[in-house]
Structure 1
Amino acid sequence: MESGLTPEDARAFDRVLGAGTPQNVGYFHFWFSGQKWEWSDEVARMHGYVSGMEPTTELLLAHKHPDDRAQVASALAKSIETGEPFCSSHRIIDTEGGVHHVIVVADRMVDGKNEVIGTSGYYIDVTTTIAEHRRETLDDTLPELYAARAVIEQAKGALMLVYGLNAEQAFRVLSWRSQETNTKLRALATQLVTDLRSMVHSTTGMRTEFDHLLLTVHTRIPSDGPAT
């Protein structure tokens, strides 16, 4: 039996996958000098603001869940002190009192001389929604996808470990990177699992190193890499 998807199944997969990917993803830039922030309209909306709202460190910290605020403040201070990217898994409270579970995936931001001047990346809202249940529909509708599931499950497991996500949230993050970079999901997962073998595995730097791998994994996929 052929393991690849038929064109009809591939189109069905895209429809289901599109319904289950996270829509609340937005970028940010943070310059260490002067602690200047820039965020996309999507990140502003996560916090309950319309476009045009100028973020500050104080504003961002004020929206952190009280139980997570100290941890985020510490991560920011460390980022400024060491030049490491700002990355975190925490909760934010929007202007209406709604709680959002987010992960911040970031990398270094450098100037023309390749000197670190800040950090930039993405806020990903992984709050549980009805969209997460679409994964069950995907499994029922496209059994042919099982041929690619082993490596996808490995990549999901890495995301779950590093970011503290559940299986559905991890799949949504993988799907987001697949669509954001116009890369086949299976190829992305395969390369990410391959990259994991090269990690230094330092206790303090694992999250930062993994963020970099996740944000750049599509650039290392061979041109003849596997297709989902």
Structure 2
Amino acid sequence: MSTVTPSSSVDDPISMDVPADVVEDVLEGSLEDKAVNPPPEPEAAATGAAVWDPLNALTAGTAEPAARFRYDVRSGDWWWSPGMFDLHGLTEGDVEPSTELLMSHKHPEDLAATEQTLRSVLASGEPFCCRHRVVDTHGRVREVLSVGEAVCDADGRITTVQGYFVDLTAAFSAATERASATARAIEQRRPAVDPTIEQAKGVLIAAFRLSPDAALELLTWRSEEIRVDLSVVSRGLVAEFHSLQDDNLSAARRACAHLGLMALDED
């Protein structure tokens, strides 16, 4: 797996007693792979602080699959649940999770934003929620919502970043299909373009130097004025200009006469 180098450096990496070199290591992908054990209980519970559970807040009443992760700021270790490995197209036990592995699977267009999210949570400790794309080992793009928080020790130092990846790919596909079906239904209900109306518009565009929309408005007005279908009005106007008449009328005067408009003075 190739290492992804972050697109930008950390100018002001930390504001809550987390060593600057730790944040640099996270974002520069220089952490060494280490043996990872299942995560302990959050330290916030030991201090009596309420533990915010983003999964309950996000997926209450839904069946969205969620993959868990935890990053130990002090040691640089990552823990991934089996779902995290599956989401990235990996097999648990074949590879150890790391910052560079995580970043290497970000969609190129979302990499910078993901780096900024990680930088922000390490600096502020505030809960986060963002949508981005993961490209798995098979090249499949997954639409993912990541949500999580930083956990602090009794002295307020950030010790852990933990949270969930919720795979929304199926939901996005369904929404896209519904939107496409709606667009197709609208297109099917749209009346076919009448070539005669288009020809009549061309006549008015040439005669009066109108825009296509203005030409159509003029034809529609005449149709409503005399209570005759628009296609009939258009056909009559086109026929008027196809006929051979030796009356020396200009195109503008001929159009005015057919549409029942007051005659124009020629320039």
Same fold (TM over 0.5): no
Q: TM-score when scaled to structure 2?
A: 0.38
**What TM-score does the superposition give when structure 1 sets the normalisation length?**
0.44
Larger Rg: 2
- Structure with bigger helix share is 1
